[in-house]
Amino acid sequence: MKRRDFLTTGAVGVTASAMAAPAIAQDVRQWKMVTAWPKNLPGPGVAAQMLADRITTLSGGRIEVKLYAAGEIVPGPGVFDAVSEGTAELYHAVPAYWGSKSKGILLFGSQPFGLRADEQVGWLTHGGGGALYDEMYGRFGIKPFLCGNSGPQWAGWFRNEITSVEDLKGLKFRTTGLASEMATKLGMAAQAMGGPPMFQALQTGALDAGEFIGPWTDSALGYYQVAKYYYWPGVGEPSSAEECGVNAAVYAELPDDLKQVVSFACESLYNPVWTEYTTRHAQALQSLVSEHDVQVRKLPDDVIAAMGVAAGEVIEDLRADEDELVRRITESFIAYRDLVGGYMTYADNGQMNARASVLGY
C-alpha cells in the first residue's frame, strides 16, 4: 500500500447521515466506529476494519458497524470522548492516548520495561486487571475490551546517532503514554502527535526523533525517508494493546447474545492481530535494511540503564498517585509482572536464549 492511499482518507467531510441517531429497525442496530487511525493504515487501521467486519458478521447483521477514520467524524484524539458522550457507539484506539483522563489508564496499554503482549492479556484475563480495567473506564461511561497488540515496539527513528545519555538531553521526541513521562525524566522534549504528522515533523526538523509502532506500520508511513537510524529495543513499550471502547449504556441495552458477540469479536482478534504484526514487522525490517539502507542500531547500554531508572521513577509516581484506583491498578500490574516475569526466566526467556545459542538448523 502506498503512503498516500491512506493519508488522504482523513480529509473526508462529515455527512448528515454519518451523524444520524442509531437506528434499531427490524432488530438491526447501526453502529458508528470512530478510530484513531487513517483508514487501512497497515497495522491498526487494518485491525480496526477487521473488528468492525467481525462484529457485523458474528451478529448475523443485527449490529452493522461502519468504520470512520480519524477526522471523518472526530479527530483521532477525540474518539474516547465521542464514545463517552454517545456521538459514536464504539472506537478503536490504544489506551496510551488517554493519559489526560487518568494516569491509571496508561497501564492498560503499555508500560516501560513492562508486560509483553501475552502477559498483558494474561494480566487482564487471569491476574485481576480486567476488573480494574472495567472500573476505570466505567467512570467515563465506556465498556473496554482488548482487541489486539502490536507486540514489541521500537525505540524509534532518529535523524542522528545516539552514543550516550547526554545525546538525549533536549531531544525533540515523539512518543505517547508512560513512555513520554520516562522520556521527560531523561531530559527529552516529549511530544504527542499522530503517525502522519510525525513524518512531517521529522522532515522539517520540528522533531529530532520519534517512535510510532514498528517496521510494518512505520515503513508504510515513510519514516525511513527522513530519518535513517532505527533504534531498538523499544523498552518504552514492550507491547502496546489495542482496544475497543463501547458506550456503556449502548452495551448495557444489548441482549445477552449480542453482548457475547461484541466480547468474542474483540477477544478472538487479539492473537490474529498480534501475530500479523509480528510477521509483517519481520518482513518489513528486511526490506527497510536491504532496499532503503536503514541503519539498525541498538541503544547503548548506558542509555538503556538510564531509561530503567527513569521508568522506575514513573512507576513510583503512580504508586503514590492521589487517586486510590490508580494506586490499585499500579500494584496489580507490578504483582503480575513480578509473578510471570519470574516464571519466564525458566520458560519463554530460557527457550529463546537456548534457541539463539544453537546453530544446528
Cell numbers standing for residue 258 = 449480542
C-alpha cell at 117: 503482549
Query: Cell digits for 62?
Result: 443485527
Is 153 annotated to bind ligand?
yes
Residue type, 191: Q
On whether 237 is known to bind a ligand per the annotation, the reply is: yes
Closest by alpha carbon to 177, among 114, 126, 233? Answer: 114
Residue 211, annotated as binding a ligand: yes
Separation of alpha carbons 40 and 44, rounded Å? 8
Q: DSSP characters for 304-337?
A: HHHHHHHHHHHHHHHHT-S-HHHHHHHHHHHHHH
Q: How far apart are the first and last CA of the chain?
A: 34
Q: Which residue has the cell 487501521?
A: 45
Read off the C-alpha cell for 153. Answer: 515496539
Q: How far apart are CA 51 and CA 244, in angstroms?
A: 9
C-alpha 130: how far from its chain's center? Answer: 17
Q: How far is CA 33 from CA 19, 55, 106, 187, in A?
A: 12, 11, 22, 38
- For residue 86, report the phi and psi dihedrals to the nearest 5 degrees: 90, 10
Cβ-count burial 204-238 (b if 16+ within 10 Å, e if not): eeebbbbbbbbbbbbbbbbbbebbbbbbbebbbbb
Q: Which residues are annotated as a binding site?
A: 153, 174, 211-212, 237
Q: Which residues are annotated as a binding site for substrate?
A: 153, 174, 211, 237
Q: Which residues are annotated as a binding site for Na(+)?
A: 212
